[in-house]
Structure 1
């Protein structure tokens, strides 16, 4: 199912949760909506689901109008599946009954699935690794198993689009990694379009075909995970996704000279966005810095905090009035003087 949002805005009283959002999602595409709390990403998802009506603008699915001011096509007529943050399982239903529910109650369930209900339930439970747990009740399941039930229920009626609202945020770190693989596997098997809301950059970068970064109800940048991470277009995207340090200095065409140096230190920046150049900034990710013992070559700083992360160290380096985050595989001591430079491309 293809989706198109044209100039979509949403107000709650005087508060504008979304402002003039334009977005196209292709059939079968995995799109992550990424941003901090309060940026409008869940409001956007609720508009796609049919739980909310836009204040202005239009939403089309497969070129059919499903929502505008004064009109909304209800959720049960949109052929969507929804996975909630808190699982939303019914305590009186076992696993098979959860999967059976949308097959019976969704108006858009294909007749072939209705006619072969038992086979469909068995197939879906196999896809999420719950074939042996069909008679279990929710209170008998672990957190990861409950999330698998929620996924199975969402895909049972073969939706054209799967909407996910921070579905892994209540799981521990190891389970989240396992469930990422499950969701990717389901996407490959079903080829349904997925719109995945998250505040976790790692989830978005790991799974999505495209990432939509939002801030204050507006879209900041849309692109592939590589484009978003490597070539941020705004200060917000640089800090929120890439965790970049914004270095101050002077631009001369595509060459950048950091402040506090004698002018001999220059970095190439042909891929740096114009917004940074206009503001005299250069975004440098923590892994782009090369950290050496103090010398006259490079930017001088002091180690003020160290976090050991197994294969690498995460440092906070004090450079004049600012602290920069740097990742290095080399060991430095607290309060040691160091020299910073960009790694060779």
Structure 2
């Protein structure tokens, strides 16, 4: 299902939750809507689902207007499936009954699925790894199993669009990693379009074909995970997605000189916004730690966290703190110089 969101805005009283959203989602595409709480991502998802009506603008699915200022096609008439953050399982239904329910009740369920209900249930149980749990009740399932049931229920009527509202946020870290793989597998096998709302950068980067970063009801940047992470276009995207340090300094053509340093960095791939603002975004893993007295930004180690294969450092330079990730082991209060990767030899080389 192809989706066009054209100049969509949504207000709740005097509060404008969405501001002139324009976005196209291709058939079979996995799009993650990423942003902090209150940025408008869930409101956008609810408009796609048919739970909310735009104040202005319109939403088209397969060329048909399904939502607009004077139009609202209800959820049951759209070929969509929805997975909620809270699982929303019915306590009186077992796993099989959860899958059967939308096949029988969803008005958009294709006729070939309705006529082969038991075969469809078997396929979905197998697809989601729930065959051995078909007769279990929700209270007999783990958190990860409950989430698979929620996904299975959403997939049962063969939706063209699967909407997922922070579906992994209530799971622990290990289960979240497992469920990421499950969702990716479901997407590869079904090729339904997926719109996945999350505030977790790792989830979006790991799973999506394209990421839409939102802030204050607007789209800040949209692109592939690589584009968003490696080539941020705004200060918010740089800090929110890749946790970049924003180094102040001066630009001369394509060369950047950090404040208080005796080095220059190449600016290939740095967005015009940063050049106009006298900034250079540096991810924590891009910094090189060098011995004191060499080129670079002078600093002192003020905090160390050991993370197995690497160390996470807070480096203080004058009144600024820089976040640095490095395999190099340093002592607390050790003096160092910070440089950009590929610009000098690293400490300990």
**TM-score class, shorter:** over 0.9
Residue 222 of structure 1 is matched in structure 2 by 222
Residue 286 of structure 1 is matched in structure 2 by 284
Residue 275 of structure 2 is matched in structure 1 by 277
TM superposition shift of 1:253: 1.0
Residue 91 of structure 1 is matched in structure 2 by 91
Residue 27 of structure 2 is matched in structure 1 by 27
TM superposition shift of 1:296: 3.0
TM superposition shift of 1:298: 1.3
TM superposition shift of 1:54: 0.2
Query: Structure 2 length as normaliser, TM-score?
Result: 0.97
Residue 266 of structure 2 is matched in structure 1 by 268
Residue 309 of structure 1 is matched in structure 2 by 307
**Mind listing any 5+ residue stretches in structure 1 that lack a counterpart?**
none
TM superposition shift of 1:292: 1.9
SS at the partner of 2:242?
coil
TM superposition shift of 1:270: 2.0
Q: Distance in 2 between matches of 1:225 and 1:297?
A: 33
Count of aligned pairs = 343
Q: Distance in 2 between matches of 1:134 and 1:243?
A: 43
Residue 238 of structure 2 is matched in structure 1 by 238
TM superposition shift of 1:85: 0.2
Q: Distance in 2 between matches of 1:136 and 1:46?
A: 30
SS at the partner of 1:48?
helix
Q: Tell whether 2:291 aligns with 1:296.
A: no
Residue 165 of structure 2 is matched in structure 1 by 165
CA deviation string 1:266-302 (max 9, x = no partner):
1001210011011100000001010122123211100
TM superposition shift of 1:70: 2.0
Q: Tell whether 2:42 aligns with 1:52.
A: no
TM superposition shift of 1:335: 0.8
SS at the partner of 2:183?
helix
Q: Distance in 1 between matches of 2:317 and 2:103?
A: 60
Let me know the Cα RMSD of the aligned residues. Answer: 0.7
Residue 38 of structure 1 is matched in structure 2 by 38
Q: Distance in 2 between matches of 1:254 and 1:63?
A: 44
**Mind listing any 5+ residue stretches in structure 2 that lack a counterpart?**
344-349
Query: Structure 1 length as normaliser, TM-score?
Result: 0.99
Residue 335 of structure 1 is matched in structure 2 by 333
TM superposition shift of 1:320: 1.0
Residue 114 of structure 1 is matched in structure 2 by 114
Q: Distance in 1 between matches of 2:148 and 2:16?
A: 35
CA deviation string 1:93-143 (max 9, x = no partner):
000000001100111101110011001001101111110111110001000
Q: Which moved more, 1:253-262 or 1:322-331?
A: 253-262
TM superposition shift of 1:230: 0.2
Residue 208 of structure 2 is matched in structure 1 by 208
Q: Distance in 1 between matches of 2:103 and 2:338?
A: 59
